[in-house]
């Protein structure tokens, strides 16, 4: 995780928006998680933690 508070660059994620808060991840990618070999991007570690509690309900089909 990037603890400097800066956006993560040059990371390909499968989602264009944060599955938790629906913020666009392209301009504000701060954290990522891997689920079923796909990298998901999040605007914050909070949203990543929420995703990890129940990833199946948020994962792209």
What single string gives the DSSP state of each residue in the chain?
--TTSPPP-S---S-SB-TTT--BSTTT--EEEEETTEEEEESSHHHHHHHHHSHHHHS--
Output 6 or 60, whichever has higher pLDDT: 6
Distance of CA 33 to the CA centre of its chain: 6
Report pLDDT for 9.
Answer: 84
pLDDT at 26 over 70: yes
Contact at 8 Å (CB) between 12 and 25? no
pLDDT at 6 over 90: no
pLDDT at 56 over 50: yes
pLDDT band for position 28 (cuts 50, 70, 90): confident
Q: What would the pLDDT profile of 31-50 be if each residue is shown by its tens digit?
A: 999 999 999 999 999 999 99
């Amino acid at each position: 995780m990037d603890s400097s508070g800066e956006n993560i660059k040059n990371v390909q994620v499968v989602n264009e928006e944060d599955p938790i808060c629906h913020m666009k991840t392209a301009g504000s990618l701060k954290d990522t998680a891997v689920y079923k070999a796909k990298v998901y991007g999040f605007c914050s570690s909070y949203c990543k933690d929420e995703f990890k509690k129940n990833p199946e309900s948020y994962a792209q089909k």
